[in-house]
Amino acid sequence: MLALTATTVVHPAGCGLDTLWTAAAHSRSGLQPNPLDWCTLDAWLGAVPGVDEVPLPEPLAAWDCRNHRLVWMALQDTVFVQAVREAVARHGAHRVGLVLGTSTSGIRSTEIAYAQRHASGCWPEGFDLRRSHTGDALARFTAEVLKVAGPMATLSTACSSSAKVFLTAQRWIEAGLIDAAIVGGADSLCLSTLHGFDSLQLLSPRLCRPFDATREGISIGEAAGFALLERGKGEVHFVAGGESSDAHHMSTPHPEGLGAAQAMRAALDAAGLTPSDIGYVNAHGTATPANDRSEAAALVSVFGERGVPVSSTKGITGHTLGACGIVEALITAEALRHQQLPPSANLLRPDPDLPLDLVTAARDTKLQYAMSNNFGFGGSNCTLILGRSN
Amino acid sequence: MSRLRFSLHAAGVLAPGLASLDALLDAARRGTPLTLSGDPLALPAPSALPPNERRRASRAVRLALACVEQAVADTPFDVSTLRSVFATDEGTGEVCQQMLETLATTRQVSPLVFPNSVHNAPSGYFSIAHRNRQPATVVSLGEDSFASGLLCALTEARATGEPVLLVAYDPALTTPLDELLPLREPLGTAWVLSATDTPVQGPVLGRGELIVAPAGDSPAAPWRPAWLPEAWTHHSSARALAALGLLAAPAGSALTLPLGGLHLTLTLRPAA
| Domain ranges within chain B, ordered by starting residue | 10-202
> Of how many residues is chain B composed?
272
Is-catalytic flag, A159? yes
| Chain A residues within 8 A of B91 when measuring between CB atoms | 135, 156
CATH of the domain at A162: 3.40.47.10
Residues B227, B27 contacting (CB under 8 angstroms): yes
Q: What's at B90, amino acid-wise?
A: E
List, for residues A178-236, the tens digit of each pLDDT value: 999 999 999 999 999 999 999 999 999 999 999 999 999 999 999 999 999 999 878 99
> Taking the CA of residue B254 as centre, how many other CA atoms within 13 Å lie in the half-sphere pointing to its CB?
14
| Chain A residues whose beta carbon lies within 8 Å of the beta carbon of residue B111 | 199-201
What separation in angstroms does the CA of A98 have from each of A95, A322, B73? 10, 16, 36
CA distances from A377 to A22, A271, A311, B31, B211 (A): 30, 26, 21, 42, 35
B217 pLDDT more than 90: no
Is A284 part of the annotated catalytic residue set? yes
Q: Which residue of B has its CA nearest to A119?
A: B104
Predicted local confidence at residue A81, as pLDDT: 98
Contact residues on chain A for B138, CB-CB shorter than 8 A? 155-157
- Tell me what pLDDT residue B56 has: 83
Answer yes or no: do A134 and B90 touch at CB < 8 A.
yes
Pairing mode, if any, of strands A369-376 and A278-282? parallel
- Choose among B149, B171, B153, B150: nearest CA to B162: B153
pLDDT of residue B272 exceeding 80, the answer is no
DSSP conformation letters of B192-211: EEEETTS--SS--SEEEEEE
B10-202: CATH, from 3.30.1130.10, 3.40.47.10, 3.40.50.11540, 3.50.50.60 = 3.40.47.10
Q: Which residues contact A78 (CB under 8 A, 6 or more apart)?
A: none
In this prediction, residue B39 carries a pLDDT of: 86
Expressed as residue numbers, the domain containing A247 is 2-388
Query: Which one from A159, A208, A324, A382 is the annotated catalytic residue?
Result: A159
Residue type, A179: D
To test the contact with chain B by mutation, choose from A2, A42, A63, A94 the residue with the greatest count of B C-beta atoms within 10 A, namely A94
| CA–CA dist A306, A283 (Å, integer) | 14
Helix (H, G, I), strand (E, B) or coil at A237: strand
Give residue-wise pLDDT tens across range B219-237. 878 999 999 999 999 999 9
Q: Domain tally for chain A?
A: 1
Tell me, what's the pLDDT at A318?
98
- pLDDT, one tens digit per residue, over B81-102 is 999 999 999 999 899 999 999 9
Q: Give the residue from chain A lying closest to B88, CA to CA.
A: A135
Of the residues A65, A319, A324, A382, which is catalytic? A319
Distance from CA of B152 to the nearest CA of A (A): 7
CA torsion, ordered B112, B114, B116, B120, to nearest 10 deg: -150
In chain A, what residues touch B133 (CB-CB under 8 Å)? 244-247, 258-259, 262
pLDDT in the model for residue B218: 80
A156 pLDDT band, cuts 50/70/90, is very high
Cross-strand bridge partners of residue A96: A180
pLDDT in tens, B155-200: 999 999 999 999 999 999 999 999 999 999 999 999 999 999 888 8
Average pLDDT over residues A56-62: 96
